[in-house]
Amino acid sequence: MLGVFALSAALKEEEQEKLDLSIKLLEEHSVSLQLGSNLNSKEEIFAGAQYFTVGNLQSRLTALYELKDQENLLALKGGYGVLQCLQALDSDFFNNKRVFGYSDLTALFLKIHQNASLFHSPMLCELSSLSDEELKSFFSFLNAKPEDFKKLLLKYTPDLETQLKASSFIESPAFIYGGNLTLLLSYPINLEIKEGYKKILFIEECNEEAYRLERMLYNALNNHVFDDIDELWLGESLNADFNKDLVLEISQSKGFKVFFDLPFGHKKKFTVPIFAYYE
């Protein structure tokens, strides 16, 4: 059973067919759904709220809290809107839940990473457009146990083991965290990682000009985001080309390894547990 929530952009009319096909796809895989009451909001910008007012904000949160009986929660789509909700959001609502999403949902993950199991994954509106391999990856994690995360990630992400042949991830315990770089820079990350685990930062982006990406990288560097990490994983970004020379320069100065173009992000959309330990 999946509860579907919408804290970001509202559903566009042209997306209704994709949504219907995605719901049908889940039903064909014997996954039943509880749809949030605000999924079909027709307000102009945000799901359940066009403006940042107490009333409209509360309508989004009320629709979310109606899914209290669901252990697995899947975001409808990304866009913009989650940051508006964080001050009023009850983090304890997510205790022992599993939350699937990415992009704008990075903001939510930064808020609740100590409460819930989190998965950087495709969202409901996208499922019907995924390849068979991407779908297998998504479904493999719906009920996965943490001790199986590494095995499943390597099994259901094609060529990942080859891409990571120089990575300590293959043989060593690791902790992977991160998401959309813009949002990682907008909310403080307070992490206490267990001793003995490699620290892997994952980042990806969407629709950003080169100079903005470079500014983000320098911002991250100056704010110590790259301090004490063992590896940096860059996902395949959409219309956002990172300056690889700059990334390599930063990695050399900070002493971490870099792996480019991993299939997690806005292009290829394989699922990866995030803010998660890998044994």
- Counting as low any pLDDT under 50, the low residues of the chain are 44, 49-55
Which positions ≥6 away from 245 have C-beta within 8 Å? none
Same domain, 73 and 11: yes
The answer to whether 129 and 104 have CB atoms below 8 angstroms apart is no
Of the residues 66, 94, 129, the one at which a domain ends: 129
Q: What is the pLDDT of residue 166?
A: 95
Same domain, 93 and 170: no
**The tokens of 219 are what?**
């911002």
Same domain, 110 and 207: no
Tell me whether residue 138 is in a domain: no
Tell me whether residue 136 is in a domain: no
Tell me whether residue 163 is in a domain: yes
Same domain, 156 and 251: yes
Q: What is the pLDDT of residue 43?
A: 55
* Torsion (CA) 66, 70, 73, 79 in degrees, nearest 10: -10
Q: What is the pLDDT of residue 51?
A: 39
Dmax over CA atoms of the chain, in Å, equals 51
**The tokens of 17 are what?**
């067919």
Q: What letter does residue 12 receive in the DSSP assignment?
A: P
Helix (H, G, I), strand (E, B) or coil at 120: strand
> Considering Cα of 220, then 228, then 244, then 178, what sign does the dihedral take?
negative
The answer to whether 1 and 68 have CB atoms below 8 angstroms apart is no
Backbone angles phi, psi at 96, to 5 degrees: 65, 15
Tell me whether residue 125 is in a domain: yes
Q: What is the pLDDT of residue 34?
A: 96
Tell me whether residue 141 is in a domain: no
CATH at residue 242: 3.50.30.60
Of the residues 129, 158, 174, the one at which a domain ends: 129
Q: What is the pLDDT of residue 52?
A: 38
Same domain, 206 and 232: yes
Q: What is the pLDDT of residue 42?
A: 58
Tell me whether residue 121 is in a domain: yes
**Range of 98's domain?**
2-129
Tell me whether residue 135 is in a domain: no
Same domain, 41 and 118: yes
Tell me whether residue 139 is in a domain: no
Site of tokens 């209290």? 68
Strand-pair category, 2-5 with 33-35 = parallel
**Other beta carbons less than 10 A from residue 248's beta carbon:** 13
CA distance 136 to 15: 23
Q: What is the pLDDT of residue 53?
A: 44
